[in-house]
């Protein structure tokens, strides 16, 4: 049977048998099978120490995990989770409040995950995007003060006015202050250019429907 048709465990068994029979030197067997002497002696020692056992790779998992969360603390994490249905951040805060050795939020999440306490993500299609816009121009303007920013070493508060149908920016003006007088002066000039809106939505979150026809 060709060498490449054997499993890894069978290849190792063939190698140690060839060496153990003494018909060929270790060096000759290694050359024929394409392995190093260090590898050959390693598996030969394993086979002689445990005859009859498969020459498979041993688990690399450490016998001890000093970094793993203590069982008592894990139990407390799970108890808080089961009682309150909280996430890792709140669970950690409660443990800290109780004077316990507090693990990181990531550690709490790993504990919850190991014990099946994390809700599985629901595979759903993302919702279609919605634009909350008015049906025609000048039905609603959105007015907002941005900033402040510095222009020419002077503090400015950009005033923006946007039509909520076309999303067109009707006005952007860097104002030196936030006074009503200055805003109304800019608005009355804009009314003369593009007409009156039916309503204004200001950055203070209220709409004005009738006041636009009456300058203060």
The answer to whether the CB of 102 falls within 8 A of the CB of 88 is no
For the residues of 91-160, what is the DSSP string, one character each?
A: HHHHHHHTT--PPPHHHHHHHHHHTT-SPPPP--PPPPP-----SSTTS-EEEEE---EEETTEEEEEEE
What residue ranges do the domains of the chain occupy?
3-49, 71-114, 141-213
Q: How far is CA 149 from the centre of its chain?
A: 32
Q: Over its length of 216 residues, how does the chain's per-residue pLDDT go in tens digits? A: 444 456 677 777 777 777 777 777 888 878 877 788 888 888 778 777 777 666 666 555 555 555 456 888 888 888 989 888 888 888 888 888 888 877 788 888 888 888 888 864 334 445 555 566 788 899 998 888 887 888 888 888 888 999 988 888 899 898 998 888 988 899 999 999 999 999 888 765 444 444 444 444
pTM, rounded to two decimals:
0.37
Q: Which residues contact 144 (CB under 8 A, 6 or more apart)?
A: 159, 160, 202, 203
Return the CATH class of domain 141-213.
Answer: alpha beta
HSE-CB for 16 with a 13 A CA cutoff: 22
Query: Cβ distance 156 to 148 under 8 Å?
Result: yes
Buried b (16+ CB within 10 A) or exposed e, 52-76: eeebeeeeeeeeeeeeebeeebbeb
**What whole-number distance in Å separates Cα of residue 29 and Cα of residue 41?**
11
DSSP letter string, 155-203: EEEEEEEEETTT--EEEEEEES---HHHHHHHHHHHHHHH---S-EE-T
User: Residue 48: which residues within 8 A CB-CB, separation 6 or more?
Assistant: 20
């Amino acid at each position: 049977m060709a060498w490449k048709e054997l499993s890894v465990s069978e290849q190792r068994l063939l190698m140690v048998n060839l060496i153990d029979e003494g018909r060929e030197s270790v060096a000759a067997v290694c050359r024929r099978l394409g392995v190093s002497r260090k590898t050959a002696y390693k598996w030969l020692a394993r086979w002689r120490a445990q005859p009859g056992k498969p020459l498979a790779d041993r688990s690399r998992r450490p016998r001890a995990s000093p970094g793993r969360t203590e069982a008592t603390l894990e139990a407390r994490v799970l108890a808080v989770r089961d009682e309150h249905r909280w996430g890792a951040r709140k669970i950690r805060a409660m443990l800290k409040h109780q004077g316990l050795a507090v693990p990181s939020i990531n550690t709490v999440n790993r504990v919850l995950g190991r014990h099946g306490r994390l809700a599985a993500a629901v595979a759903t299609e993302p919702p279609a995007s919605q634009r909350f816009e008015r049906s025609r121009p000048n039905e609603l303007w959105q007015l907002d003060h941005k900033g402040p920013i510095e222009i020419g070493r002077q503090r400015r508060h950009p005033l923006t006015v946007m039509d909520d149908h076309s999303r067109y920016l009707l006005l952007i003006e860097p104002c030196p202050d936030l006074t009503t007088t200055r805003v109304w002066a800019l608005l009355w000039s804009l009314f003369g250019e593009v007409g009156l809106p039916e309503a204004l939505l200001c950055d203070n979150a209220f709409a004005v429907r009738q006041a636009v026809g009456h300058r203060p």
